Amino acid sequence: MLKSRPERYGTVAVSIHWLSAILILALLASGFKAANAMNAATKVEFLRFHIPVAIIVLLLTAFRIVWWWRFDVKPLPVKGSVMWQDRIARWVHVAFYIVILGMIASGIGMIVLSGAAPAIFGEPGTVLPTFTDYPPRAPHGLGAFLLVGLAVFHAGAALYHQFIRRDGLLRRMWYGG
């Protein structure tokens, strides 16, 4: 079933969710590795992976927003859920969108302002700039830590529902049934 139903998410929403989750984890890993790389060649290798994956995440996020806004509806809250938890969940999801879009905007800002694209994508003789010299670097770094915090909180809530509440919330965000 492509679209979501009142009791579970549809195939499109599930696919976007899990693909985005995997790619965001890869972005966080490659971003932290690039930021901590001791030499420019290593940093460039991480950024050659990081930037195209970020573009894919941007496209998936835009598609997800359009999908929810125009074509699908979110399932109802899990039976027996508490209103304040539903509100926190909603705010966490909104925060994910804001931070993801902010990370992409600040990443684009760093590349544009620094002129790093030729150095990253292979123009011989081009030197990789120091990204900390450019204003978008600070919000990009802060956004990475916010994204880690949101992901940990989100995963913790899912595990709480799965193993403590045992209310089937996690099953709603998987394929089938």
Is residue 31, in this structure, part of any structural domain at all?
A: yes
- Please list, in sequence order, all residues whose beta carbon lies within 8 angstroms of the beta carbon of residue 125, skipping any fewer than 6 positions away: none
Is residue 1, in this structure, part of any structural domain at all?
A: no
Name the percent of the chain lying above pLDDT 70. 99
Is residue 4, in this structure, part of any structural domain at all?
A: no
Q: What is the domain range of residue 87?
A: 11-172
Is residue 27, in this structure, part of any structural domain at all?
A: yes
CA 77 – CA 18 distance, rounded (Å): 20
More confident call, 29 vs 126? 29
Report the domain count for the chain.
1
Is residue 48, in this structure, part of any structural domain at all?
A: yes
12-59 pLDDT, tens digit each: 999 999 999 999 999 999 999 999 999 999 999 999 999 999 999 999
| Residue 155: pLDDT over 90 | yes
Is the CB of residue 4 less than 8 Å from the CB of residue 72?
A: yes
Q: What pLDDT does 124 receive?
A: 83
Looking at the chain, how many residues does it have? 177
pTM of the model: 0.94
Is the CB of residue 133 less than 8 Å from the CB of residue 110?
A: no
Is residue 151, in this structure, part of any structural domain at all?
A: yes
Return the CATH number at 166: 1.20.950
Tell me 126's DSSP state: P
